[in-house]
Amino acid sequence: MTDIPDAGQITFAQDPQSQGNPALGWFREARFGMFVHWGVYAIPAGYWNGEPTPHMGEWIMHDLKIPAEEYKQLAASFDPHDFDAAALVDLAVRAGQRYLVLTAKHHDGFCLWDTELTTFSSAVDAPLGRDIVGEISQACRDRGIKFGLYYSQTQDWTHPDAAGNDWDFDPETQDFESYLQGYVKPQLTELLTGYGEIALIWFDTPQGITAEQSRDLVEHVHMLQPYCLVNGRVGNGLGDYGQTRDNEMPDEPAGDWETPITGNGTWGFTDNTEWKSAREISVTIAKAVSRGGNVLLNVGPDSRGAVPSAQVVELETIGDWLQRCGASIYGTHRGPFRALEWGWSTASSDHVYLLVENWPAHGELVLPANVSVESARLLTDAGGTSLEVRGAQGGAVVDLNGVEADAVLSVIELTGAREVAPL
């Protein structure tokens, strides 16, 4: 039912020295965020002169080898004048997301802010003439959710000295270091000095960047905002937190990490309508938090800036579930019970939470053999129905007879759960 493979790994490592970083406090608390992939690729939306792109929407320029000068003309059609940053952030809040990460610059080089370094932006070349980074950062501040920025540091298909575009530019004669020093760092300076507190910078596809160059970027970010986190995709094992591949679930990861997941099969908007269900996403959140990680769920607004309504429904359903069951997610950490047949466990300082993916048909939820429990209650209903626990001394059973499973994912809160004897 879920297409997110288990037994993945942390591909982009957390720098072990970062684990004590106090800025990770909010990250561990938040657990669930909104990724926003938005740019001029939302206009072709997966088709170029009627030809479909074989891959994700935001990769259309690369995959169809569209010449940079031709692709850049798209900016002249970028005019989502009804875009409402407050409405987008309100959707994140309703979905129960505690941080938002916006693609300030993706691999195509289009910038969503008023940058001095190129006119290829929502503020200058686009008739829209607006600073989207500014608008969304303000809306996040207004609603009290953390704001971070995605920035493609290695690939920039419209910059002659960056990586990724070998159909317009000759890799042999490129000067990547001059692009890093003369373009990437000045742009990061704009982003980290012009928009208040930036919670994190989300770098991507490090590819051939050297350890020295990755370190230079980390230091640049931290020099400008010491509490701004840097994700593992800065490359060379230097992230403040680790990251899996896209849509992947690591097995038993150490440290702090995040898995970025699509809402359908693409990051940038296309006509793909294969939405992951609220249940599927809540199971992914449960798994990630039970292993100490966060989930960053993508939305790809269309060329008018709207999130497809079918996805809005799923997001609102997740938000309703988190209203009922958020105690098992926000601020919790790895659960004590592993390899459960029926689901996942998380823990706070006071409680253990059982997130029951497979509701037992026989009405009995069997806990691991060496566990005793004082009491159990269902988080699913407003009253928090208490559940009977039998055989508390070793091999406890929570009685679920007559109890209805949650429409999304059932959560049981245990009080006084402890190991009575090592297995």
HSE-up (13 A, CA, CB side) for residue 228: 28
Identify whether the C-beta of residue 405 lies closer than 8 Å to the C-beta of residue 319: no
Which residues, 6+ apart, have CB-to-CB distance to 27 below 8 Å? 99, 200, 229, 241, 256, 294
Rounded least distance, CB 59 to ligand JFZ, Å: 6
Is the separation of the CB atoms in 129 and 80 below 8 Å? no
Q: Which residue has the tokens 């370190």?
A: 215
Rg of the chain taking only CA atoms, in angstroms: 23
Query: Under the criterion CB under 6 A, does residue 245 sit at the interface with ligand JFZ?
Result: yes
CA dist 105 → 43, 74, 87, 158, 202 (Å): 16, 15, 22, 11, 11
Number of amino acids touching ligand JFZ (CB under 6 A): 10
Minimum CB separation of residue 268 from ligand JFZ in Å reads 7
Smallest distance, Å, CB 363 to ligand JFZ?
Answer: 42
Shortest distance, position 233 Cβ to ligand JFZ, whole Å = 7
Residue 255 zone, left/alpha/beta (φ > 0; ψ -120 to 50; rest): left
CA–CA distance, 140 with 154 (Å, rounded to integer) = 27
Using CB positions, name the residue nearest to ligand JFZ: 245
Does residue number 204 form part of the binding site for ligand JFZ (CB under 6 A)? yes
Neighbours of 339 (CB within 10 A): 5
Longest dimension (CA), the chain: 73
Q: Kindly tell me which of 244 and 282 has the beta carbon lying closer to ligand JFZ.
A: 244
Task: Point out which residues pair with 414 in neighbouring strands.
Answer: 352, 376
Query: Minimum distance between the CB of residue 326 and ligand JFZ, rounded to whole angstroms?
Result: 25
Residue 9 interacts with ligand JFZ (CB under 6 A): yes or no: no
Q: Which stretch binds ligand JFZ (CB under 6 A): 18-26, 52-60, 130-138, 319-327?
A: 52-60
Cβ closest to ligand JFZ, residue 190 vs residue 204: 204
Q: Can you tell me which of 260, 326, 335, 343 binds ligand JFZ, judged by CB under 6 A?
A: 260
- For residues 90 and 99, what is the distance between their CA atoms, to the nearest angstrom? 12
Give me the torsion for CA of 59, 63, 68, 69, rounded to 10°: -110
Report in angstroms how near the CB of residue 34 gets to ligand JFZ at its nearest: 13
Which one among 41, 267, 337, 344 touches ligand JFZ, defined by CB under 6 A? 267
To the nearest whole angstrom, how small is the minimum distance from the Cβ of residue 290 to ligand JFZ?
A: 22
CB 291 within 8 A of CB 346: no
Span from 55-63, 269-277, 327-335, 368-376 in contact with ligand JFZ (CB under 6 A) = 55-63
Parallel, antiparallel, or unpaired for β 371-372 and 418-419? antiparallel
Which segment (56-64, 177-185, 315-323, 335-343) binds ligand JFZ by CB under 6 A? 56-64
272 is an interface residue for ligand JFZ by CB under 6 A: no
- Judged by CB under 6 A, which of 181, 189, 205, 385 binds ligand JFZ? 205
CB of 246 to ligand JFZ, least distance (A): 4
Work out whether 58 is an interface residue with ligand JFZ (CB under 6 A): yes
Rounded CA-CA distance 368/340 in Å is 8
From the list 53-61, 168-176, 283-291, 338-346, the region that binds ligand JFZ by CB under 6 A is 53-61
Residue closer to ligand JFZ by CB (options 225, 231) is 231
Token readout for 224 is 């400008």
Q: Which residue has the tokens 């959560």?
A: 411
Q: Which of 246, 302, 316, 399 binds ligand JFZ (CB under 6 A)?
A: 246
The Cβ of residue 245 has, within 10 Å, a number of other Cβ atoms equal to: 15
* Piece of the chain touching ligand JFZ by CB under 6 A; list 54-62, 68-76, 169-177, 279-287: 54-62
Q: Which is nearer to ligand JFZ, 60 or 140 (CB)?
A: 60
Q: Rounded to an integer, what distance in angstroms lies between the CA atom of residue 315 and that of residue 117?
A: 36
Which CB, 205 or 272, lies closer to ligand JFZ? 205
38 near ligand JFZ, judged by CB under 6 A: no
In the bound state with ligand JFZ, the residue whose beta carbon lies nearer, of 28 and 245, is 245
Check if the beta carbon of residue 241 is closer than 8 Å to that of residue 255: yes
How many residues are listed for the chain in this entry?
423
Give me the residue label for tokens 């091999």.
395
Residue number with CB closer to ligand JFZ (36 or 218): 36
By beta-carbon proximity to ligand JFZ, the closer residue of 122 and 380 is 122
Angle CA(234)–CA(56)–CA(173) in degrees, nearest 5?
55
Whichever of 263 and 335 has its CB closer to ligand JFZ, that residue is 263
Residue 11 is a binding residue for ligand JFZ (CB under 6 A): yes
Query: Which chain residues interact with ligand JFZ by CB under 6 A?
Result: 11, 56, 58-59, 204-205, 245-246, 260, 267
